[in-house]
Structures are given as structure tokens and as C-alpha cells.
Amino acid sequence: MGREMISEYLEALAARLGGCRSDYTFSIPKRYLQYTLRDFPLRLCESVLEFIGGEIDTLCLLGKTGSRKTMFAAAILRAWRWARPQYPEDWRNGIFLPAYTAADVLRNMDTGQETRQEWANAPLLVLDDVGASRSTPHLAEQLLFLIERRYDNQQQTVITTNFTLTEFANAVDPRAASRMQDGLVLDLGDVDRRGGEPR
């Protein structure tokens, strides 16, 4: 897709995103519901079009605390849903999964299996802030299952983390890091924009 077509697509997408029905956003935390692609630089949005279009399976957003990874992941999920009007709503309702929620569920070996399967089978899964929770061998194994299962089945996954891929490999799992780098990896930088710094 040429640059002009990409720009036109993003312009049309931004114009329509404000009208997304609220039930498309049921799994996105309230603080991040407002964000759409128009809140981010064009060059950054251009870089994720192939993922939104389904041509790339894995998108990894790296960056330090406050670099707007979670906001961008929420905007990508909204765009991904909007781009699939031909599918029923239950199909395009990808899951936005904060790491603290995943850790809480996955630590329970008895009751977490059914939920884990739901996450593994979702058409799109956003794993937000992976590595933020204290990792245990069991938790690392469960996260690897999710990432590996989705990678093998070519299901789309967005992963955000404060780690570099090398740090992720050391702190969480080298096999998961290897699969993450096989997709699109974007580094959003080390500036904490929560303090009001320019984007």
C-alpha cells in the first residue's frame, strides 16, 4: 500500500473511529477507552497497518513506563475491530488483557484453565504490560503457552512490555521472546509522557 493510500486509509479510519459502538470496547480499561489512532503520529500508525489488516500475526510494543504503549494498544484494538464489519460482533471482540489480571487468573492452577483457553482462542489478544508482575515458573509457563499457542496458530497478538527483548528473555522466557521478535517490534521510547511531554 503506497503512502498516499495509507494516509487516506488512516484519515477515513480516524473519521469513523469516534463512532465505534461502546460494546466493541468492553474489555479495554476505562482510562484507555478514549484513545484512537488519531491520537498518535501518522508514521507510527502507518507502521501498524499491516497488523490491523491481518498480514502480521504478532505486534510487540516496547518502551519504558509512560511511553503510551497501553494507549496505543487500545487504539490498535479499536481499529482492528472497526476494520472487520463483515464479521459478527462476538468474533471481532478481541480481548484486552492487563498483565495483572492474567497473573491473578493464571496463578490459580485449578480455576484458570478454562479462562486460559478463552484467551488462547480469541481472534485478537492484547497482553498488556507483560513482565510487570513478579514471575514464577508456573506463571512464565502459562504466559509461554499463550504466546506459543497463538504464534503456532497464526492468531493475532499484541504484547506490550517495559523490557527490551533481551531483558524479556532473561526475566520471563527466552522462547516467548524469540516468538515475539518474529513479528513486528516497535520501540515507543523511554520518555514518560504522563508528565505532559510532547508526543
pLDDT in tens, 100-146: 888 888 777 666 677 888 888 888 999 999 877 676 787 788 888 88
The domain segmentation of the chain, as residue ranges, is 3-20+31-195
Strand order from edge to edge, sheet including 124-128: 95-98, 124-128, 156-161, 58-62, 184-187
32 DSSP assignment: G
For 14-65, the pLDDT digits (tens) are 555 444 443 344 578 888 888 888 899 888 988 998 899 889 999 999 999 8
Domain 3-20+31-195 CATH class label: alpha beta
